Amino acid sequence: MARVLVTEEIAEPGLDRLRRAGHTVQVALGLTPAQLEAEVAGASALIIRSATQVDASVLAAGRDLVVVGRAGIGLDNVDVGEATRRGVMVVNAPQSNIISAAEHTLALLLAQARNVPQAHSALIAGRWERSKWEGVELFGKVLGVVGLGRVGALVAQRAAAFGMHLLAYDPYISAERARQLGVELVSLDDVLAGADFLTIHLPKTAETAGLIDADRLARAKPGLRIVNTARGGIVDEKALAWAVSSGVVAGAALDVFSSEPCVESPLFDLPSVVVTPHLGASTREAQDKAGLTIAEQVELALAGDFVPFAVNIAAADVPEAVRPWLPLAEKLGRLWASLSSLTEELPAVVDVEFSGELADEDTRILTLAVQKGLFAVSSDEPVSFVNAPQMAAERGLSVRSVSGGAPAGYRNLVTIRGGAHSVAGTTFEDGLPRVVMVDEHDIELPFARWMLMIHNDDRIGMVAAVAGMVAEAGLNIVDLKLGRSGEGGTAMMALSFEQAVPPEVVAALAATPGIIDARALTDV
């Protein structure tokens, strides 16, 4: 049977499962990078947590690797792209800690409302301070939930049992799903204006970093209390410290920080702030679930069976004619989702159309790749070919595959249409995927890490106005493409840069006469 290398502490029941299946389990903790490369040689499976870095060198050394298993959710320490290129499956345990994370959110919510840690510290220091640490009830208060993914939904359900009223912001959740949860969907600004307590359950992305900033805090309901167990940096910590110290915000409870480990912060000096060192997943049950789940996934992968939590797909599972189109399909999904503004509601139906020779192929995996890209920009957990359809179902989204006719001017074309947005792309002879249409404007451009998409009136001077504003902001334009609407009257500009476009630049462009819309896109 196979040798399984385990480089971090995993719950023993999971390791026992692999042993019972006949595999040899080698536990080697605290390996240096060189030692890891030496030990992974000849191993069929590698099981890790968050500390082990599985980069291209490790994957090259592990020539016999069939699967890399991450006992937990995040995959920042695994080069998934390189693993996919080498045909190595990557699996994780995405549901292992959702209950623990939700319960820790409620623990912080209660601790903040009732000043539990502050009263405890005072009492063991010899001070009986009943009046000083008077709290507030949760009953009848409004809880604003920002992000209704798995953890956010569990928090909403549990908060309802306390008699709280629920507001939520999540542009990727359908109104029907919100009704099922007993939640009223509103804009982010309306959540902040109406909530007594605010809890964050979003992924950390370029769009969500600093989402709760000084401006939003200043406009929030007076006396707001904030809880963040999602990712550090979504709430601007300096702005939060100002808001709490000035009385704009009544208090906060944080489990995550923009830089970790965090042992110094202006928030630590504020008596109405409760903090914990990223304990959201730190329960015995969560660790046991992660160990058992990852052992099960590794066992299935080694047996060649269906693996529910695979986050990539082995090249052998993709039809030869379809394989080169996977990167394009996923990137188009990311682009379509990125074009949706924070205030737009997710449409009920998204159509993925395959035209040309692709229309005669089995393109189901490409439709999955579109969904994988679509939810990768909004999910607080890794998105795989397996869980993407489940995410679509949870959000009330139907993704339909459509076979089109001959694509004008292209051998093959992949088009996504849904709600107010549409994108299309193809792959040229150089093998690189390109966009050829955005929102019904013909525009040919390569994908880039930092982009600016501008929809404007089709008139003289618009390009010069945009170029002047980005130049004034100190941004160097790497590429600039122009496209016009087939119906006339409007045009599209796509610019790529060497760095992210600051939000204030985007806002200034959007407010410029003649510009209909301006969007900054990252990693599309």
Residues recognised as catalytic: 231, 260, 278
Among the listed residues 449, 523, 521, 522, the one whose alpha carbon sits nearest the alpha carbon of residue 492: 521
Rounded to whole angstroms, the Cα distance separating 486 from 492 reads 11
Among the listed residues 114, 159, 123, the one whose alpha carbon sits nearest the alpha carbon of residue 141: 159
Rounded to whole angstroms, the Cα distance separating 77 from 305 reads 25
Burial class (CB in 10 A: 0-12, 13-18, 19+), 228: buried
Is the Cβ–Cβ distance between 40 and 62 less than 8 Å? yes
Is the Cβ–Cβ distance between 197 and 144 less than 8 Å? yes
Separation in Å, CA 461 to CA 464, 468, 488, 513, 515: 5, 11, 17, 11, 11
Helices 326-339 + 364-376 axis angle, to 10: 40
3-state secondary structure of 399: strand
Rounded to whole angstroms, the Cα distance separating 293 from 47 reads 12
3-state secondary structure of 350: strand
Rounded to whole angstroms, the Cα distance separating 367 from 378 reads 18
Rounded to whole angstroms, the Cα distance separating 12 from 24 reads 14
Query: The sheet that has 89-92: what strands, in order across it?
Result: 24-27, 3-6, 45-48, 67-70, 89-92
